[in-house]
C-alpha cells in the first residue's frame, strides 16, 4: 500500500514540478542555449499558416509598425488578439518571423513541461522501487496489492490530467503549422481522440489545467482557425 501511495505522490509531485518550473526551464533553454531560435529555424520551412493568419501584407510588416497601426486603427482578427504577444519578441521582427518564434516558444514550453515531468517521475519511481521490494516480502504484501487497485484508479486520473494538459495546447501549433499533411492529421487525431472527447471538456470546465501556451488558448484556436488553404511565411 505504501508503495502505491508513493507512486501516486510521485506522479503528483512530477506534475506539480512540471507546472511550476516549465516556464523557467523553457526561458533558460531559449536564452542560454538558443533552443527557441533553433526550433524556429526548423519550423520555418514547415509552417503554412491557414486563414486568417495568411495575409501577406501583414506578415511582411515589422511588429513595431503593426503595433503603431493598431494604436490608430482597429486591426482585423486575429491580429488584435496577439499583437501584444508578438511585440514581446522584439519590434524589429516581421510579423511572420515573430509568429514563427511564438510557435517555437510554445513548443519549447511543452517540451520543458514533458522533460521535467519525465525526469522527476523517473527519479521518484527509482526511489519507490526500493520500498516496493521491501514491502513485497512483508506481511503487508496482500494489503499492498488490494490498495493498489484503488490507488491505480487515482494514478490513472493523474496520468489523464497530464495527457490533457499537453494535448489541449498542442493542437494550436499543429493547426498553425499547416492545414494539410501530417500536422493536420495529428491535430485532427488529437481533437477527435477518446481522451479529448471524454475527459477534455470536464477537465477544462473545472479550470484546473495549467495553460502551457497562454498566447494561444483553445478558445483562440477554435475561434480563429476554421480551416482552409495555408500560406508559407
pLDDT, tens digit, for every residue of 62-105? 999 988 888 888 877 778 778 888 888 888 899 989 988 988 99
pLDDT in the model for residue 120: 96
pLDDT, tens digit, for every residue of 175-186? 776 555 566 677
pTM of the model: 0.82
pLDDT in the model for residue 232: 40
Mean pLDDT of the chain: 79
The burial of 154, by beta-carbon neighbours within 10 Å (0-12 exposed, 13-18 middle, 19 or more buried), is given as: middle
> For residues 145 and 77, what is the distance between their CA atoms, to the nearest angstrom?
56
Strand blocks (E) in the chain: 48-50, 230-232
> For residues 18 and 81, what is the distance between their CA atoms, to the nearest angstrom?
27
The answer to which of 13-27, 67-81, 131-145 has the lowest mean pLDDT is 131-145
Nearest to 168 by CA among 160, 156, 158, 180: 160
pLDDT, tens digit, for every residue of 165-210? 888 788 777 777 655 556 667 777 777 777 777 777 777 666 667 7
Phi, psi of 49 (to 5 degrees): -65, 135
Find out whether 204 and 219 touch, Cβ atoms under 8 Å: no
Amino acid at each position: 500500500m505504501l508503495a502505491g501511495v508513493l507512486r501516486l505522490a510521485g506522479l503528483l509531485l512530477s506534475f506539480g514540478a512540471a507546472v511550476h518550473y516549465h516556464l523557467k526551464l523553457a526561458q533558460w533553454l531559449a536564452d542560454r542555449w538558443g533552443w527557441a531560435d533553433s526550433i524556429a529555424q526548423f519550423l520555418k520551412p514547415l509552417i503554412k499558416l491557414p486563414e486568417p493568419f495568411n495575409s501577406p501584407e501583414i506578415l511582411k510588416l515589422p511588429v513595431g509598425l503593426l503595433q503603431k497601426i493598431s494604436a490608430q486603427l482597429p486591426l482585423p482578427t486575429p491580429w488584435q488578439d496577439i499583437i501584444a504577444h508578438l511585440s514581446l519578441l522584439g519590434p524589429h521582427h516581421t510579423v511572420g518571423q515573430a509568429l514563427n518564434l511564438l510557435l517555437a516558444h510554445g513548443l519549447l514550453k511543452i517540451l520543458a513541461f514533458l522533460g521535467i515531468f519525465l525526469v522527476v517521475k523517473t527519479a521518484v519511481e527509482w526511489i519507490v522501487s526500493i520500498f516496493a521490494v521491501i514491502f513485497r516480502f512483508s506481511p503487508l504484501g496482500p494489503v499492498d496489492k488490494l490498495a493498489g487497485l484503488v490507488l491505480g484508479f487515482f494514478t490513472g486520473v493523474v496520468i489523464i490530467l497530464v495527457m490533457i494538459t499537453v494535448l489541449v495546447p498542442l493542437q494550436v501549433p499543429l493547426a498553425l503549422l499547416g492545414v494539410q499533411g501530417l500536422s493536420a492529421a495529428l491535430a485532427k487525431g488529437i481533437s477527435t481522440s477518446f481522451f479529448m472527447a471524454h475527459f477534455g471538456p470536464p477537465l477544462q470546465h473545472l479550470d484546473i489545467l495549467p495553460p502551457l501556451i497562454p498566447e494561444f488558448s483553445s478558445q483562440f484556436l477554435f475561434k480563429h482557425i476554421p480551416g482552409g488553404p495555408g500560406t508559407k511565411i
